Structures are given as C-alpha cells and as structure tokens.
C-alpha cells in the first residue's frame, strides 16, 4: 500500500510553500488551510503532513489552532511537525488532534528527548525526520547543516524503535525537478523493514508512480498540487486504482 500524503505548510495560519526551506521565498496558496485539507479529503486522501513553519523558526509550536481545526473538521490522519521541542509541545499536539509527530531537529540536537518520546508514545506515533543535503542531515528548517551522514543517523534510530522515516532531499524541495529516486532506493535497500516516506521534488504524477514502484510507504506532495501540475482528479484516480 502506497500513500500519497499532501503537505500543508503553515505561516501566519495560512497555507504556504517555500523553496528549499527559504522563508524569503514564501508563496501563499490559500488563506484557509482547512479548505485545502477538505479538497484533499474529497480526492480520497487519507493522510496529511502538516508543518508549522512559524514553529520551526521559533522553536515552539505556534499553529495549534490550525491543527485542531483540520483534525476536528476532516477525517484525515495528521502527522505534525515544526517546533515540537518540549514535552508540553508534543502532548498538546496530540491533544489537538495529531495522530503522529515528526521530529527532525530534536533528534539531532536533543537525542535524549527524542528517545524519551519514542519510548513514551511508541514507534507508530513518532516519525523520524531525516532531511538531508548531499546525504548530510540538515536541521532547523534546513537553516543549519550538520556533519551527520543520513544513513548512520537513520540506522541509529531504527535500533531504538523508529518505524517511520520522512526524508526530504533539501536540494530538490520546491523546485519541481523530480525526486531523488536513487536516494530512496538506497534507503529502502538498507532499511527494508522501515516505512520510508519520500519528500521533495515531485513535479508530476509520473514521479509518484515511479516512487510507488520503490516499495516505499508513501510520498509527500505539495507544490506540484498547488501549482496545478498534479490535479485533484489525477490524485483521485491514482488512489482509486491503487486501492489506498
């Protein structure tokens, strides 16, 4: 089963997209994220990747209300990321309706905290965010590079119970130039039991179809939908044909 997981990125409670994580490249697509979420739901989508970009920048969750509104008014299974830094943050995110939380920067900067969440909530609820530039982990909304190799980073956390991994190739994000097929093929080869979710670069349905053949868990799609390169009808058709 392969999941198409649309992304809604939030700044000032509005649906936006950035290019390569650059806040100065912000483009507003809709003033009402709930309206966008309902369009995805109508297309047959079951899962949503909701990112609090304000939270990622301020290192605390800001857009709780957007999460609550979408969780309350749709049946989408929401994974939430951006600014989740404290025990209070993560508990509130779950209380406001998230089914899963993605931790990226926290897993690099405060591994003890991330591991405590993994132990408390379990591998079904905590997703590892493994975003990278040239296979080196990038954090804090991609404004910081690290020296950590993506594969050793993932391997370390799989040993601790991580099951879901979202990996964005930062060099591809928002450019609509196609995803890093080779990266995900290598990742799946190294970690065959993990539920790997590709992110970044998807430009057309063909990209989704190619990723679906890699035995990944799913793909996160954003800009290609918002720019009209992938229609809601084509999403609906793919989901119906795949039986997901």
State the DSSP string of 95-130.
HTT-SEEEESHHHHH-HHHHHHHHHHH-TTTEEEE-
Count CB-CB contacts under 10 A for residue 209: 12
What digits encode the pLDDT tens for the residues 18-39? 887 788 889 999 999 999 999 9
For 69-112, the pLDDT digits (tens) are 999 999 999 999 999 999 999 999 999 999 999 998 899 999 99
Q: Among residues 131, 169, 173, 207, which one is catalytic?
A: 131
- In the predicted model, residues of the chain with pLDDT beneath 50 are 244
Q: The pTM is what?
A: 0.94
Dist. CA 242–CA 115, nearest whole Å? 35
87 is catalytic: no
Q: What number does CATH give the domain 3-242?
A: 3.20.20.70
pLDDT value, residue 100: 98
How far apart, in whole angstroms, are the C-alpha atoms of residue 204 and residue 125?
Answer: 30
For residue 75, the tally of other CB atoms under 10 A from its CB is 7
The pLDDT, as a whole number, for residue 215 is: 94
Task: State how far the Cα of 168 lies from the Cα of 184, in Å rounded to an integer.
Answer: 10
Q: What φ, ψ does residue 70 adopt, rounded to 5°?
A: -70, -40
Two tokens, residue 193? 């039991």
* Site of tokens 């969440």: 117
Nearest to 123 by CA among 163, 179, 170: 163
H-type helices in the chain, by residue range?
A: 33-42, 53-58, 64-73, 87-95, 105-109, 111-121, 150-158, 181-190, 205-212, 223-226, 232-242
Q: Which residue has the tokens 């008014």?
A: 73
Locate the domains of the chain by residue range: 3-242
Where b means 16+ CB within 10 Å and e means fewer, 84-106 reads: bbeeebbebbbebbbebbbbbbb
pLDDT at site 244: 46
β-strands 22-30, 100-103 pairing:
unpaired
Dihedral angle, C-alpha 219, 128, 53, 8, nearest 10 ° = 30
d(CA 160, CA 23): 33
Task: Confirm if 103 and 81 have CB atoms less than 8 A apart.
Answer: yes
- Identify whether 52 is a catalytic site residue: no
pLDDT at 150: 96
Predicted local confidence at residue 219, as pLDDT: 98
């Amino acid at each position: 089963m392969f999941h198409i997981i649309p992304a809604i990125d939030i700044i000032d409670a509005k649906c936006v997209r950035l290019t390569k994580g650059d806040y100065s490249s912000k483009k507003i697509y809709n003033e009402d994220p709930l309206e966008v979420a309902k369009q995805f739901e109508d297309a047959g989508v079951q899962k949503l990747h909701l990112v609090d970009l304000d939270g990622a920048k301020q290192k605390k969750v800001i857009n709780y209300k957007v999460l609550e509104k979408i969780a309350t008014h749709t049946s989408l299974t929401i994974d939430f990321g951006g600014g989740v830094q404290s025990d209070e943050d993560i508990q509130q995110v779950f209380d406001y309706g998230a089914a899963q939380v993605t931790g990226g920067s926290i897993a690099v900067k405060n591994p003890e905290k991330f591991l405590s969440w993994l132990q408390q909530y379990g591998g079904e609820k905590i997703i590892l965010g493994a975003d990278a530039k040239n296979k080196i982990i990038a954090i804090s909304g991609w404004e910081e590079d690290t020296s950590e190799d993506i594969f050793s980073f993932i391997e370390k956390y799989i040993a601790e119970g991580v099951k879901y991994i979202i990996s964005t190739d930062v060099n591809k994000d928002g450019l609509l130039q196609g995803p890093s097929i080779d990266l995900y093929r290598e990742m799946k080869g190294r970690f065959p039991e993990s539920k790997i979710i590709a992110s970044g670069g998807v430009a057309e349905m063909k990209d989704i179809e190619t990723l679906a053949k890699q035995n990944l868990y799913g793909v996160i799609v954003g800009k290609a939908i918002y720019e009209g390169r992938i229609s809601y009808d084509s999403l609906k058709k793919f989901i119906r044909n795949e039986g997901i």
